[in-house]
Chains A and B, each alone.
Chain A
Amino acid sequence: MMSKSRGKNSVMKDVWRRLKRNKLAMISMILLIFLFLIALFASYMIPYDYASMNAAIRLQPPNGEHWFGTDNFGRDIFSRVLFGARYTLIIGLGCTTSAAIGGVVLGSIAGYYEKFDNIIMRFIDIIMGIPVFMMALSIIVALGANMRNMIIALAITNIPAFARITRAQVLGIRQQEYIEAARSIGASNFRILTRHILPNAFAPILVQFTLGTVSVILWGASLSFIGQGVQPPTPEWGLMISAARSFLREYPYMSIIPGLAIVVTTYALNILGDGLRDSLDPRLKQ
């Protein structure tokens, strides 16, 4: 069917149209945008300072004054959870973005230039061969336990996933006839890679990005939980759960609330990632 001339980004428009039909993905996206806004403006939204302690009001269950209750130092959990969104997003997006940049560069070089393929991919295999937790822990131990080093460690452990996906895509796409056509008009390798191959490899990389963010947030929480990530009194969600673990029996809300925050965020990211994968799949094009 022939359609009338449409706007410039009509491919993206189609993707958006298909994504809009996926209700769960849209809800997840709205939720994530909301979370993003919270992270940005948390300092104006929190009713109490997230770090100020007050022994008089410690261990209060959720009530009208402290919506999510208070912790063992009398800090307002609502304020801490809101503020924590910022750290979660910084860790999640920071790690995944740097891992994606590193992985895409390595993967596309490996996929496009055959002579580098073996060197790069065997190196990637080595990183993949080491359990994520071991790898991240050793890097953090070597560099020192703080948030920046945790981000570096998690970024490195996430590079292989991006590299493998990118390489696989590049290997497939570079066999396409339009790549040969691009070559036949005199396009350089760099141009072919950046303008013709990578945009066509974008969809699975984007999906890996959302799913990778989920795993990074969980790993970040785990590392903070064992004291190797974000340091107190920063209200990172994993760290809050860790601090609450000795009160789990009597005051479960202390760990349940930041736990729920993690679950909701990662679930939303997962659903959005699935939705994006479906809507970016050109085979579903009508």
Chain B
Amino acid sequence: MEIRDICEGTNLLEVKGLEVHYIVDKDVSRAVNGISFVINEGETLGLVGETGAGKTTTALALIGLLPMPPGKIVQGEILYKGTNLVGQNERYMRKKRGGDITMIFQDPMTSLNPLISVGNQIMEVVLLHENLSKLEATKRAKMMLETVGIPGDRYNDFPYQFSGGMKQRVMIAMALACDPRFLIADEPTTALDVTIQAQVLKLMNNLKKERNTAVLLITHDLGVVAEVCNRVAVMYAGHIVENGPVEQIFNDMRHPYTQGLFFAIPDLDSESEFLKSLEGLMPDPMHLPEGCPFHPRCSHCMEKCKTEVPPNLEVTPGHLVKCHLYP
């Protein structure tokens, strides 16, 4: 395993105090509540959390695809190479998307246009972002297909002629065709079966290393995180409750929620008959509890937790925890 730089390396993307609300009529759903993190060049950050924790909302905000309305970035900055992406116009974002920042979606079955051949879909990205002739773009698309392990002579095949895993490879080829600096992968393996998951992850990881692409990997699979991530951010009810290098989080998790997540992984050696689970449900983003959002489910809950939002505390270098347990 290579040495993982935590604090060094050039910082590619920096999110500062990002707050996203969904506003429908008068109801405000607070999906993301002031999150901050940094992704360096070539680094993989895993964003982990339950369904509804705000992971996808964060991703959409980063790439500028948040549906607005109802979505609204209330506060915060998204700095990509020092430029704030919040409030940029559509034209500017369009240039960035696909060229600098790309995204891989959860379900490869529905992420490809059924009426356009896979080759032409890859070519489309290239043509949109690079000043190439159609012929050169076709060549590049063919090359990309081969890079992800699909024979180039399947260029003219249509999505329905591919299996799920192969479609996800096509998506990866599409996402990486213009050599982006930053890739958002929104649960890229959730819809695939386990054997294919490993293949796809390995492929993503290799390509990422070859091209030194930074990746934000959204998942709720801690196994995936352990395999490919350098750093992990744990999200709960729109907050990043713990953020740190992957070994730190796996060996020395501090936040009660992170601990809960890890203890929920079934242990093959244990005798226990039941799966361990965290009591309770994630709070409704329309009625978030006062203080720490996790306090109603927390076994260490103190009086302070019910009123005060805990600050971000650096327990060891690069390892941040948002909990009153750690003064």
Contacts and interface: CB of A to CB of B under 8 A. Distances in A.
A52 interface: no
Contacts of B153: 5
B65 A186 contact: no
Given A181-B105, A184-B102, A186-B99, A6 B110 contact: no
Contacts of A8: 117, 156
A6 B96 CA distance: 35
- Which of B110, B114, B115, B124 gathers most chain A CB within 10 Å? B115
B97 A184 contact: yes
A11 B115 contact: yes
Contact of B128 (A177, A185, A199): A185
A180 interface: yes
A183 interface: yes
Contacts of B128: 185-187
Interface residues of B, number: 37
Contact of B98 (A11, A184, A196): A184
Contact of A185 (B110, B115, B124, B163): B124
B161 A181 contact: no
A181 B111 contact: yes
A277 B17 CA distance: 52
A176 B110 contact: yes
Contacts of A121: none
A178 interface: yes
A6 B124 CA distance: 20
B98 A177 contact: no
Interface in A256-271: none
A6 B97 contact: no
A46 to B, nearest CB: 44
Nearest to A282: B114
A239 to B, nearest CB: 43
Contacts of A56: none
Interface string A182-210: 11111110000001100110000000000
Interface in B140-194: 153-154, 156-158, 160-163, 171, 174-175
Contacts of B124: 182, 185, 187, 195
B103 A184 contact: yes
A156 B171 CA distance: 43
Contacts of A196: 113, 116
Given A5-B153, A200-B115, 8 more contacts: A3-B161, A181-B103, A181-B174, A183-B97, A184-B97, A186-B129, A200-B113, A285-B160
